Amino acid sequence: MAQTKPQAPSHAGNDRIIARWLWESFIRQRMKFIWLAVGLMVAEALMLGAFSYLVQPMFDQVLIAGEAGQVYLVAIAMGAVFFGRGLARLAHKSVMVWQAESATADLQTMLLAHLTRLDQGFFKLNAPGVLIERVRGDSLALQRVFTGLITGLGRDGAAVIVLFGVALWTDWLWTLVALIGIPAFGLPLVALQRLVRRRSRDARVAAAQSSNRLDEAFHGIATLQLTGSEAREVGRFRTIMQRYVSKSTRAAIGQAAIPTVMDFGAALGFALVLIYGGMQIIEGTRTVGQFMSFFTALGLLFEPLRRFVSLTADWQNIVASLERTHALLQEVPRVTNPAPPHAPVPARDQASVELRNVDFAYGAEPVLRDLSFTAPAGKTTAIVGPSGAGKTTVFGLLTRLADVNAGAVLVGGQDVRAMDLAALRGLFAVVSQDTALFDESLRANILMGAEDVSEAALQRALKAAHVDDFLPLLPDGLDSLAGPRGSSLSGGQRQRVAIARALLRDAPILLLDEATSALDAKSEAVVQEALENLVQGRTTLVIAHRLSTVRNADQIIVMDRGAVVEQGTHAELLAQGGVYARLYALQFKEGAQANSP
């Protein structure tokens, strides 16, 4: 069951892996739109080439020779060039932004779908804030693949080719002289690319840490305020953000340095061409129009060439994020649906539960040790014991949120690992202390995707769970929003919504995990009555710290350090004078002290 946090793959060969994944998952199916955009980029580049070419007749025939008839032709041609370039740019940007947003949405959906298939061991090692950043922040790099990388390759690549062609057409020797200094800067460019990759990866890690701190701060805001820890938490966040700023700044400086290196080469090239070409004009072997057309093409060439070379830094930045995303998708689910044929699902009256010699651990930490007990069908079995005894873990193994390391978990005499996963989980309804409600209507929270639920069945569940008691107090009744994590409801109201949800599932096995422990006496009485309606005719397992709530259970399992230490009814366990009796006496004494004047 050992599970580690996902690690970023090594640099060696990773570019090829990421590129293949991008092609197969996001680019190949969008190629018809990408080719359309590339065609429009080529059209934009051709407009640039046409502009630089038209500079020669503008100087030689209009400005110097004074041919009046050429003024209108050159002016109309220049206007058409700029108009065509603007339309082409607008069109290809629109197409690529659409594809970028679509691909990123697909990736984020893919990540969520994958993460929902991972077991609880993974989520114990990966905080929600970190995962949010992995899904939202890192995946945004995919947008830059479309709007930066592919657009740059198409637009700037075409511009470089077209403008280079114009420069060569004007004078191939001038072109060679202009570009002579660029190869000397190859080694600095390689070093800068490696720096950008490393710093960008560090920045993404710091961004994930900042998201996690924000997630914990907002979820624990009441605790921070009540303990006066606001300044401490802000200080911790400031430290993380300073680290993020440092890493991001270094990555940005490295990325900005790449076109700067290109500028050094361009400066040398311009100076050499100016000297060499200027002397030829003075000698009369070249015209001013030729020189200006060449210089226009060369001036326009270096900007897309700078961006084109900068794509290598962009790629390093993109890979630093996407390799983390790709690594997340490589996490293998530990709990999977078995191959058919599946073990049969037991009928309601046969839905017994048995743990047989179960061992389980999260990582290297053992939680359950040779655990065995049976919960008969249609009966109520309580599981009690100190915190950390492994009680809640039992529920996770029953529903296959995790799988045992050794032994077996059986429902209706069938190993749960042999059952269809959806059918297995359909056997259970769960009401826990920390009720999971979402920022949707109460109706949606109760139905939770259930289909074909009649209004009569819904009303029966609301009545049995005592939800109808507080519905008139809400602004929109059943269509009122529950708020983030159910914050618009009280604890007792949230529990009753969870009970209504469980009633609608009508599952044969009920799991109650400290369902009333956080409620006041009045709310507990109402919820307890709703629970009594819920347990009728079901195999029920109850986790409870307050032993007074499980005295009427058909049997009580006492756990300590992952093993069963006692088992029997309330009266039998008191008579034994063991662990249960001592716990009960201690709670009775504490209760008596609390109620004394």
pLDDT in tens, 506-535: 788 988 887 666 556 666 677 677 777 777
516 touches 524 (CB < 8 A) = yes
| pLDDT of 596 over the 70 cut | no
Considering the domain architecture, whether residues 346 and 309 belong to the same structural domain is answered as no
SS3 551: coil
| pLDDT of 555 over the 90 cut | yes
Predicted local confidence at residue 6, as pLDDT: 45
Q: Show Cβ contacts of residue 143 under 8 Å, excluding neighbours closer than 6 positions.
A: 100, 101, 103, 104
Sheet holding 428-432, edge to edge: 428-432, 509-513, 539-543, 380-384, 555-560, 563-568
CA dihedral (76, 78, 79, 83) positive or negative: positive
The model's pLDDT over 202-245, given as tens digits with 9 standing for 90+, comes to: 776 777 777 777 777 766 666 666 667 778 778 878 888 788 78
10 touches 319 (CB < 8 A) = no
For 427-453, give the secondary structure using H, E and C: CEEEEECCCCCCCCEHHHHHHCCCCCC
Lowest mean pLDDT among 256-260, 352-356, 557-561: 256-260
Predicted local confidence at residue 34, as pLDDT: 92
Tokens of 461: 């569940």
Considering the domain architecture, whether residues 311 and 341 belong to the same structural domain is answered as no
Considering the domain architecture, whether residues 313 and 366 belong to the same structural domain is answered as no
Decide if 103 is inside a domain: yes
Amino acid code (one letter) for 541 = L
The model's pLDDT over 402-452, given as tens digits with 9 standing for 90+, comes to: 899 999 999 999 999 999 988 998 898 888 877 778 888 888 888 876 777
The span from the CA of 98 to the CA of 516, in Å, is 50
Decide if 111 is inside a domain: yes
Distances (CA, A) of 1 to 8, 9, 128, 364, 402: 21, 22, 21, 9, 8
- Of the three residues 308, 329, 350, the one that is the final residue of a domain is 329
The model's pLDDT over 47-61, given as tens digits with 9 standing for 90+, comes to: 877 777 666 666 665
Considering the domain architecture, whether residues 354 and 316 belong to the same structural domain is answered as no
The span from the CA of 146 to the CA of 161, in Å, is 21
Predicted local confidence at residue 507, as pLDDT: 84
Considering the domain architecture, whether residues 259 and 375 belong to the same structural domain is answered as no
Lowest mean pLDDT among 182-196, 266-280, 425-439, 483-497: 182-196
Percentage with pLDDT > 90 across the chain: 10
- Of the three residues 282, 300, 329, the one that is the final residue of a domain is 329
Predicted local confidence at residue 193, as pLDDT: 63
- Of the three residues 329, 360, 384, the one that is the final residue of a domain is 329
Decide if 464 is inside a domain: no
The pLDDT of 566-586, averaged and rounded, is 88
Q: For the whole model, what pTM was predicted?
A: 0.70
SS3 194: helix
Q: Could you tell me whether strands 380-384 and 555-560 are parallel, antiparallel, or unpaired per DSSP bridges?
A: parallel
CATH number for the domain spanning 355: value is 3.40.50.300
Decide if 423 is inside a domain: yes
| pLDDT of 501 over the 90 cut | no
Decide if 532 is inside a domain: no
Considering the domain architecture, whether residues 203 and 309 belong to the same structural domain is answered as yes
The model's pLDDT over 264-281, given as tens digits with 9 standing for 90+, comes to: 666 666 666 666 666 666
Q: Which of 243-257, 381-395, 443-457, 513-527 has the highest mean pLDDT?
A: 381-395
Considering the domain architecture, whether residues 105 and 124 belong to the same structural domain is answered as yes
Burial tier of 407 (Cβ tally within 10 Å: 0-12, 13-18, 19+): middle
Considering the domain architecture, whether residues 342 and 413 belong to the same structural domain is answered as yes
Decide if 505 is inside a domain: no
Decide if 562 is inside a domain: yes
291 touches 82 (CB < 8 A) = no
**CA 160 to centroid of chain Cα atoms:** 38
Considering the domain architecture, whether residues 355 and 321 belong to the same structural domain is answered as no
Q: Give which of 345, 293, 360 is closest to 3, Cα–Cα.
A: 360
Considering the domain architecture, whether residues 323 and 199 belong to the same structural domain is answered as yes
Q: Show Cβ contacts of residue 346 under 8 Å, excluding neighbours closer than 6 positions.
A: 352, 377, 411, 412, 413, 414, 427, 508
Considering the domain architecture, whether residues 20 and 65 belong to the same structural domain is answered as yes
Predicted local confidence at residue 362, as pLDDT: 78
Count of domains forming the chain: 2
Considering the domain architecture, whether residues 325 and 341 belong to the same structural domain is answered as no
Decide if 280 is inside a domain: yes
Tokens of 180: 């002579």
* Between 182 and 349, the higher pLDDT residue: 349
Domain, as residue range, for 266: 15-329
The span from the CA of 338 to the CA of 484, in Å, is 35
The span from the CA of 63 to the CA of 372, in Å, is 98
